[in-house]
Amino acid sequence: KFKKAVDVIHALEFYQKSGQLQPNTLFASFNIDDLCIRFSHEQAINALERFLNAYIPDHHIQGMTIDTILQLVRLVLENQYFIYHNKLYQQTMGGASGSPLTIPLVYIYLFYWQQDLMNDLVPKNQLFVRYQDEAFITWNRSEDQLHTLLVTVNSQFPQLMWNTTSIGSKIHFRDIELGHHHGLLYTQ
């Protein structure tokens, strides 16, 4: 879990000690623009259903079935409205940023999405770190292959979601600068 910047540094130190940090290793940092409003309702419901079925063995929470919970979440998502310039609009993507439902739903959605990404990165001995709406990966292949991966990742969303902020041997992630010089890690 990455709750603090120091956790990221420890992960990179382990990555280096295990021999994965190479002179050609690229770091890529990216963030999610407008995290709360970019997710598809249907994809979020599917992720929530997958999550509840995986982690609620008796399929009941406080007397409610998973189906009831999913119906209630769908009801909330499909009935979000807002007023803009004196006109009423229905929110068809994402959720209200102030809603207690939105952030947990987004994180469950991202949890399953990032598992798919990690299934691609782990066999290649790459590091993936996400903290809320920011992430970075290590990459020991070509920059063109990295761009292809990032395009593929973004294609899984109904609209562009990940905004690549930096690619190179040095990046800024959270409040630290991470980099390496010929495979030797440094932080500032």
Assign 3-class secondary structure to 111-123.
HHHHHHHHHHHHH
Sign of CA dihedral 12, 17, 19, 25: positive
CATH number at residue 142: 3.30.70
Mind listing the pLDDT tens digit for each residue in 129-157? 877 778 888 999 899 988 888 777 777 66
Q: Residue 45 and residue 111: Cα distance in Å, rounded?
A: 13
Clarify whether residues 120 and 144 are in a common domain.
yes
Q: Identify whether residues 144 and 176 lie together within a single domain.
A: yes
Q: Are residues 112 and 182 in the same domain?
A: yes
Shared domain check, 115 and 71: no
The parent domain of residue 18 ranges over 5-38+107-187
pLDDT of residue 66: 96
- Which residue is it, tokens 């999405």? 113
pLDDT less than 70: residues of the chain: 1-3, 116, 156-162
Residues 53 and 82 both lie in one domain: yes
* In a domain? residue 166: yes
Residue 48 to residue 43: CA distance in whole angstroms: 9
Pair (120, 180) in one structural domain:
yes
d(CA 139, CA 146) in angstroms, rounded, equals: 7
pLDDT score for 73: 96
Helices (H), ranges, the chain: 5-17, 41-55, 66-78, 102-121, 143-154
Same domain, 65 and 26: no
